[in-house]
């Protein structure tokens, strides 16, 4: 504002808003409507005054919190779950709104900075190495227990540990390769090595589970023909299996507390499966091997069938869990769309980013491996100069890419919204 000009009743609220939020053009300082937006002020709340048509203010969403609605005497579980998810979504929007009110929005935990990402990558690498070396020791222990007992349930747990060892090695190799930057051969990085590794592990585990199912069924047939007796489970074998369960539980806690990312999520699922499978091995193998000998009664000889039955249950559970994990990664690699809550978050960010964004034309968000690829089409005034339009689009792109779950964001600038979104891109069609 010029020094010789004083604020008076002739200065409108709109003019004040633009003067505080924008820098006048040197060639036309009196043209407020075409003023240049300041980068440091583009997220200031003063810029969004009078633009309530864009979206509801955050206070409107806060009124929808379950604590403000009041508690009913009896709420069905499904309704309570709905309100819990809604509250989580509103709290995420509160963080985004808070980030818009500060110049140092990197401190808001809805965003991530490079230092925290590097620290999490180091934590994941340490966890992967720890799990790998622990699986080596547990594999040796299970090999001893299997040799001493001959229990199919314990042998199935041994084979599971073999795959655990392979999975730890594969995930560690994938994590190591992801950290190696090759900007010319892999310009976007190699983050999709993680879901590929998970799919490979799922195939291995499925094959192993099917083989164990076949062997367990054959064992039941041999037992009915009195060609196979109950396993001889010693105290040492039981002690080894109990130790394995304790170690696996500790590894699961470490992954839950310090790990993050698709690779560590696969290890968490693997540790959980191992806890259940090893517990079942200890239970079924121990009962089948020790109970008939302790009781010494003929009618208890049928308990020997618990060993192959336990192996069947373990194999079926492993097959089911890894099938779902592998199917999810295949779906993500194929480019499955993001859930509605994530798209709503993207829309909230875009609508509240800059007052000169007239409309949102299109929002696309779909899986790009472990994270999302986001495409946004925004409508700006058609007479806006290239520099100002570029600054708005690039600023919004950087803001979206600061979301931890966004790997790459593209912001397309447009001046009208009547065209069909599919007219701008080639559409992949079937060759049928």
Predicted confidence (pLDDT) per residue in 174-208, tens digit: 777 777 777 777 777 777 888 888 888 888 888 88
Is there a contact between 118 and 147 (Cβ–Cβ < 8 Å)?
A: no
> Phi/psi at 5 (nearest 5 deg)?
-105, 135
Report the distance separating Cα 78 and Cα 58, nearest Å.
26
User: Which stretch of 54-63, 87-96, 382-391, 398-407 has the lowest confidence by average pLDDT?
Assistant: 54-63
Mean pLDDT across the chain, nearest whole number?
73
Q: How confident is the model at residue 53 (pLDDT cuts 50, 70, 90)?
A: very low
Residue ranges making up the domain that contains 21: 13-48
Q: How confident is the model at residue 362 (pLDDT cuts 50, 70, 90)?
A: confident
Q: Is 79 contained in some domain?
A: no
- 329 & 267 share domain: yes
**pTM of the entire structure?**
0.62
- 328 & 356 share domain: no
Q: Is 75 contained in some domain?
A: no
- 285 & 263 share domain: yes
Q: Any idea what the CATH number is for the domain that residue 389 is in?
A: 3.30.70.1350
398: exposed, middle or buried (Cβ count in 10 Å: 0-12, 13-18, 19+): exposed
- pLDDT at 282 (0 to 100): 78
pLDDT in tens, 309-349: 888 887 888 788 888 888 888 888 888 899 888 998 898 88
Angle at 272 between CA 270 and CA 273, to 5 degrees: 65
Report the distance separating Cα 246 and Cα 129, nearest Å.
19
Ranges 29-38, 69-78, 135-144, 356-365, most confident: 356-365
Q: What is the mean pLDDT of residues 424-429?
A: 67
* Residue where a domain stops, chosen among 313, 333, 353: 333
Q: Is 194 contained in some domain?
A: yes
Percentage of the chain surpassing pLDDT 90? 8
Q: Is 25 contained in some domain?
A: yes
User: Which stretch of 24-38, 161-175, 324-338 has the lowest confidence by average pLDDT?
Assistant: 24-38
Report the distance separating Cα 12 and Cα 242, nearest Å.
77
- 123 & 168 share domain: yes
Q: Is 378 contained in some domain?
A: yes
Report the distance separating Cα 233 and Cα 228, nearest Å.
15
Q: What is the mean pLDDT of residues 268-284?
A: 79
Report the distance separating Cα 213 and Cα 215, nearest Å.
6
pLDDT in tens, 211-245: 888 888 888 888 787 766 666 667 777 788 888 88
Q: Which of the pair, 127 or 297, is modelled with greater confidence? A: 127
- pLDDT at 228 (0 to 100): 65
- 271 & 124 share domain: yes
- DSSP 8-state symbol, 54: S
- 153 & 274 share domain: yes
- pLDDT at 33 (0 to 100): 45
- pLDDT at 15 (0 to 100): 39
Cα separations in angstroms, 233 against 7, 184, 230, 252, 399: 91, 57, 9, 27, 60
- 40 & 157 share domain: no
Q: Is 125 contained in some domain?
A: yes
Q: Is 37 contained in some domain?
A: yes
Tell me which residue of 333, 350, 330, 228 sits closest to 289, measured CA to CA. 228
Report the distance separating Cα 377 and Cα 322, nearest Å.
38
- 327 & 347 share domain: no
Q: Any idea what the CATH number is for the domain that residue 268 is in?
A: 1.20.1510.10
Q: How confident is the model at residue 117 (pLDDT cuts 50, 70, 90)?
A: low
- 291 & 185 share domain: yes
Q: What's the structural domain count of the chain?
A: 3
- pLDDT at 24 (0 to 100): 44
Residues with Cβ < 8 Å from 337, sequence gap 6 or more?
Answer: 364, 365, 366, 367
- pLDDT at 272 (0 to 100): 82
The tokens describing 106, both together, are 């990197």
- 347 & 272 share domain: no
Report the distance separating Cα 416 and Cα 380, nearest Å.
8
Q: Is 7 contained in some domain?
A: no
């Amino acid at each position: 504002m010029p020094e010789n000009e004083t604020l008076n009743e002739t200065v409108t609220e709109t003019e004040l808003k633009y003067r505080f939020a924008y820098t006048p053009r040197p060639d036309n300082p009196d043209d407020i409507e075409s003023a240049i937006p300041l980068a440091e002020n583009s997220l200031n709340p003063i810029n969004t005054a009078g633009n309530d048509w864009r979206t509801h203010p955050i206070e409107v969403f806060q009124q929808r919190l379950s604590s403000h609605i009041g508690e009913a005497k009896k709420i069905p579980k499904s309704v309570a779950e709905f309100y819990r998810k809604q509250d989580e979504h509103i709290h995420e929007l509160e963080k985004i709104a808070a980030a818009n009110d500060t110049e140092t929005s990197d401190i808001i935990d809805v965003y991530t900075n490079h230092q925290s990402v590097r620290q999490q990558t180091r934590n994941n690498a340490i966890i992967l190495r720890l799990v790998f070396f622990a699986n080596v020791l547990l594999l040796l222990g299970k090999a001893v227990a299997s040799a001493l007992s001959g229990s199919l349930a314990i042998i199935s747990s041994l084979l599971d540990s073999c795959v655990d060892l392979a999975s730890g090695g594969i995930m560690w190799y994938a994590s190591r390769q992801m950290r190696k930057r090759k900007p010319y051969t892999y310009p976007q990085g190699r983050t999709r090595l993680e879901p590929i590794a998970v799919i490979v592990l799922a195939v291995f585990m499925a094959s192993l589970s099917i083989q164990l199912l076949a062997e367990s069924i054959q064992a039941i047939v041999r037992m009915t023909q009195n060609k196979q007796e109950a396993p001889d489970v010693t105290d040492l074998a039981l002690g080894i299996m109990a130790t394995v369960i304790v170690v696996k539980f500790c590894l699961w806690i470490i992954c839950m507390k310090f790990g993050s990312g698709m690779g560590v999520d696969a290890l968490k699922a693997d540790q959980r499966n191992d806890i259940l499978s090893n517990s079942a091995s200890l239970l079924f193998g121990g009962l089948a091997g020790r109970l008939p000998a302790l009781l010494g009664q003929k009618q208890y000889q049928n308990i020997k069938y618990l060993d192959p039955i336990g192996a069947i249950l373990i194999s079926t559970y492993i097959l089911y869990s890894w099938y779902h994990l592998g199917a999810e990664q295949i779906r993500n690699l194929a480019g499955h769309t993001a859930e509605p809550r994530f798209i709503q978050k993207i829309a909230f960010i875009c609508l509240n980013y800059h007052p000169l964004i007239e409309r949102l034309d299109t929002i696309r968000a779909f899986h790009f491996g472990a994270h999302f690829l986001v495409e946004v089409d925004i409508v700006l005034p058609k007479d806006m100069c290239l520099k100002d339009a570029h600054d708005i689009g690039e600023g919004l792109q950087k803001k979206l890419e600061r979301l931890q779950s966004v790997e790459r964001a593209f912001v397309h600038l447009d001046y009208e919204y009547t065209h069909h979104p599919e007219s701008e891109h080639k559409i992949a069609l079937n060759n049928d």
